[in-house]
Amino acid sequence: MKTFYTADHHLHHSGMELSFGRIVETFEKPERAEIVLRRVKEVGLGPVIEPPAYDRAAIERVHTPDYLDFLQNVFAEWRAAGRDGEVWPYSWRHRSMPMLDAPPASLDARLSYYSFDMAGSITETTWQAARRAADTALAGADAVLSGERAAFALCRPPGHHAGRDFFGGYCYLNNAAIAAQRFLDNGHARVAIFDVDYHHGNGTQEIFYDRDNVLLASLHGDPDFEFPFHLGYARERGAGRGEGFNLNYPLPAGTGWLEWQAAFEDAHARIGAYAPTALVISLGVDAFKEDPISQFKLESEHFLTIGRRIADFALPTLFVMEGGYAVDALGINAVNVLQGFEGA
């Protein structure tokens, strides 16, 4: 299996985050990608390839141009306003406030408009890193489009919390959504996204919620207690043409393998019934029992089984790296999925 990776991910490193009332070192740090890459090489998974640079038009198929302009230019605006340090939002719109018809004019108001949390800041080179993560996903998709059975896009920063015009949850561009759209734009009529990350992919849901050519199935911590909250309930099934094509499996804290597997198998069956022609896996491995910001109880061996069952779809498949913060086991868990797939 080909792995697409670029060291340009180091261009983004938000040094801190606000976590339960404390300022802590961010859990989403550059060493995550390096740990996974090291394991890819240790097991001899396959060649590691630097992705080419893609035109912004491929990203505009998913994200709005005004949002992309904002991400590209906000750090320079922050400095021009005389501010030091990293770019952080100041406030967010409350449900009692009316929706805006257009982005507001002031810097802080636009930061609020285009974000939903303080999990990650914007640094001087976050835009470049996010663009290269999207390039990584696009290169993986193109490899599969060219005939590879599967490919692994080792993306960082991750993407599934980023929506059409907002960032949050460590995510700036939605790599999995960009890859899914790439498949659609190159001959695939139906694509499924299977999100096995512990946290709900709220951005991916928002992007495809009213569409029937992408089926999203997501297993995640129940939004009653888990980030990103507010979205990810089973009742959210899509809208308009997309009704019935958004499948959420919210699970309680402490969920172990048997309960998780039951939800996985139900989602597996429903993806199969949809009969997609390509599959994108949002590969978060933070359902692992020792993950510091998650509350499921999967073991490393379970990720091998997940990979084998994904292979049973017998579909062109792209794995896109998302979360996973138990750094000691991160490489093992992520690559276990890929080896399980390859060995099936």
Question: Which sequence positions are flagged as catalytic?
Answer: 161
Structural contact between residues 39 and 119, judged by C-beta atoms closer than 8 angstroms: no
Structural contact between residues 176 and 195, judged by C-beta atoms closer than 8 angstroms: yes
CA distance 330 to 178: 24
CA distance 59 to 120: 21
CA distance 64 to 295: 34
Q: CB-based burial of residue 42 (10 Å sphere; 0-12 exposed, 13-18 middle, 19+ buried)?
A: exposed
Q: Which amino acid is at 154?
A: L
CA distance 300 to 292: 15
Task: Give the position of tokens 């491929």.
Answer: 58
Alpha-carbon separation of residue 81 from 85, 239, 242, 313 (angstroms) = 12, 41, 42, 52
Q: DSSP class of residue 167? A: B
CA distance 15 to 139: 28
What is the crossing angle of helices 126-145 and 175-184, to 10°? 40
Secondary structure (3-state) at 51: coil
CA distance 159 to 174: 4
Could you tell me the sign of the dihedral formed by the alpha carbons of 34, 40, 44, 47, in that order?
Answer: negative
Alpha-carbon separation of residue 2 from 27, 46, 50, 136, 147 (angstroms) = 27, 5, 11, 12, 12
